[in-house]
Amino acid sequence: MAQSVPDFYNNEAVFAKYMSHRQRVDTANDTLEKPVIMDLILPVTGKRVLDLGCGDAAIGPELLQYGAASYLGVEGSHKMAATAKQTLAEMPEKIILHNIEDWTYPHAAFDLVIARLSLHYIANLAPIFTNVFQALTPTGKFVFSVEHPVITSSDKGWISETNRQDWLVDDYFTTGLRVTNWLGGTVQKYHRTVEDYFRLLQAAGFMIEGLREACPKRENFQDVKTYERRSRIPLFLILAASKPL
């Protein structure tokens, strides 16, 4: 039986594996996802930033160093939120332990909302996108990353805990719940097509400014074999959206 996603990350063994996974050389997050996020959000000077599903909030101090006016993380896992509070030791009040779905979003309070690899865990994105739209100032921007739909479509042929050798894209247009084994636990996520994300943003009132697939760049990798492996299939989809002027 799959746990709720914050409970998945609350699991002692899963949490430990996740944190050590993120420390490895050439992680997909550092080599693929983060460079695109930074490319889409910088400069952040003077911006009030909201981070949905912030995890350990490692990006928080970095954005503040880049000149962001403030950083607020919302995180549903108490273990992640506790780690995030340590990351932001000077201002632990900047981390809110809450689900993304039912947090009360303040109106026009942020210039930038980011959500990195948290939204594919959520069953119903439409109300969240509407909340994000209202939480942004008129010139605000929304940038999020999700596991790429070719990845969430199917994990057939993948033996959990091994390096995937081949990828099978299947059931692409059969959207919805997927239950998968990862980090020694069982997690549920939601598969959507690229078009679904696009339409959900439009339905909330957003104008889409950018769509990226985190194409690997050699200079971001220490290991050439990892670079070649990452050149085989997209792992992430990243969208940037703003309010129409």
Ligand X SMILES: C[S@@+](CC[C@H](N)C(=O)[O-])C[C@H]1O[C@@H](n2cnc3c(N)ncnc32)[C@H](O)[C@@H]1O
Binding site for ligand X (CB under 6 A): 5-6, 9, 53-55, 75-77, 80, 99-101, 116-118, 121-122
Closest contact distance (angstroms) between CB of 244 and ligand X is 27
Q: Let me know: does 152 contact 190? Beta carbons within 8 Å.
A: yes
CA distances from 1 to 4, 166, 185, 188 (A): 10, 27, 10, 10
Using the minimum distance from each CB to ligand X, give the nearer residue, 61 or 243.
61
Using the minimum distance from each CB to ligand X, give the nearer residue, 6 or 140.
6
Closest contact distance (angstroms) between CB of 138 and ligand X is 26
Using the minimum distance from each CB to ligand X, give the nearer residue, 2 or 243.
2
Q: Let me know: does 2 contact 187? Beta carbons within 8 Å.
A: yes
Closest contact distance (angstroms) between CB of 206 and ligand X is 20
Using the minimum distance from each CB to ligand X, give the nearer residue, 22 or 232.
22
Q: How many CA atoms does the CB half-sphere of 155 hold within 13 Å?
A: 22
Nearest CA to 235 among 2, 67, 28? 28
Using the minimum distance from each CB to ligand X, give the nearer residue, 118 or 131.
118
Closest contact distance (angstroms) between CB of 136 and ligand X is 18
By Cβ distance, which residue is nearest to ligand X?
55
Q: Report cis status (omega within 30 of 0) of the bond before 244.
A: no
Q: Report cis status (omega within 30 of 0) of the bond before 149.
A: no
As beta bridge partners, residue 211 has: 239
